[in-house]
C-alpha cells in the first residue's frame, strides 16, 4: 500500500468510530498483525457481546457487502478514505448499496465466532488490514523519547 493512502485513511479515522455494540467493550481476542500477507494472525478484534444485540454502523458509509462468506453472515461497510469495516457473524438488516450513518442498526449479532458470543470487527485501508482500535480510540498513543539523557 502507498504510504500516502495509509496516511489518508488514518486521517479519516481521526473522526473516531463509535463502538458497534453496547458497552462494556471487552476484547475476547486482540488484533495480531500477520508477519506477511498470508501468514497466521488475527486480522481484526473480537468484542465480547451478547448474542441478539443490535450491531450498529461505527461511521457513515455505504454497505459494500451483506451476505454469507462460506457459512458465516458478514457485513462490510465502505467509509471515506478507502476504509472498509467488516462485521461477523451478523444477520444483516441492510443490503449491499444501502447508505448508513453512524449509529444505524445494520444487523443482529449471532453466536458462533467465539466460544462465548462476540463480534469480530475488521478494518482495512485499501485492502490492507489494520487494527480497528485505531478507529475506536482504543490504542495508546506512541511516545518517542530522546536518545540523549
> Could you read off the pLDDT of 61-109 as tens digits, one per residue?
999 999 999 999 999 999 998 899 999 999 999 999 999 999 999 999 9
For cell 485499501, the residue is 126
Domain membership flag for residue 121? yes
Contact predicate 106/56, CB 8 Å: yes
Domain membership flag for residue 108? yes
Q: What SS3 class is residue 81? A: helix
Kindly indicate the confidence band of residue 37, based on its pLDDT and cuts at 50, 70 and 90.
confident
Domain membership flag for residue 149? no
More confident of the two residues 117 and 137: 117
Nearest Cα to 94, choosing from 80, 78, 117? 78
**Domain count within the chain:** 1
Contact predicate 55/73, CB 8 Å: no
Average pLDDT of the chain to the nearest whole number: 87
Domain membership flag for residue 68? yes
Domain membership flag for residue 143? no
Domain membership flag for residue 98? yes
Domain membership flag for residue 144? no
Q: Backbone phi, then psi, for 13, in 5-degree steps?
A: -70, -15
Domain membership flag for residue 118? yes
Question: DSSP character for 34?
Answer: -
What percent of the chain is helix, strand and coil (3-state, nearest 5)? 10, 40, 50
* Torsion angle, alpha carbons of 100, 20, 123, 101, to 10: 20
For cell 478507502, the residue is 82
More confident of the two residues 10 and 96: 96
- Could you tell me the residue range of the domain that residue 15 belongs to? 3-33+42-136
Please determine, for residue 6, whether its predicted confidence score (pLDDT) is greater than 70.
no
Distance in angstroms (rounded) separating the CA atoms of residues 46 and 97: 26
CATH of the domain at 66: 2.70.70.10
User: In the chain, what is the greatest distance between 2 CA atoms, to the nearest angstrom?
Assistant: 58
Amino acid at each position: 500500500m502507498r504510504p500516502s493512502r495509509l496516511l489518508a485513511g488514518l486521517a479519516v479515522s481521526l473522526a473516531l468510530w463509535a463502538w458497534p455494540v453496547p458497552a462494556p467493550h471487552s476484547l475476547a481476542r486482540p488484533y495480531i498483525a500477520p508477519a506477511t500477507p498470508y501468514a497466521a494472525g488475527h486480522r481484526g478484534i473480537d468484542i465480547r457481546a451478547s448474542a441478539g444485540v443490535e450491531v450498529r454502523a461505527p461511521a457513515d458509509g455505504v454497505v459494500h457487502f451483506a451476505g454469507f462468506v462460506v457459512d458465516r453472515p458478514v457485513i462490510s461497510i465502505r467509509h471515506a478514505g478507502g476504509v472498509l469495516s467488516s462485521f461477523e457473524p451478523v444477520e444483516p438488516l441492510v443490503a449491499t448499496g444501502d447508505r448508513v450513518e453512524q449509529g444505524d442498526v445494520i444487523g443482529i449479532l449471532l453466536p458462533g465466532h467465539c466460544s462465548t458470543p462476540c463480534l469480530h470487527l475488521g478494518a482495512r485501508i485499501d485492502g490492507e488490514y489494520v487494527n480497528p482500535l485505531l478507529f475506536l480510540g482504543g490504542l495508546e498513543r506512541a511516545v518517542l523519547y530522546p536518545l540523549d539523557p
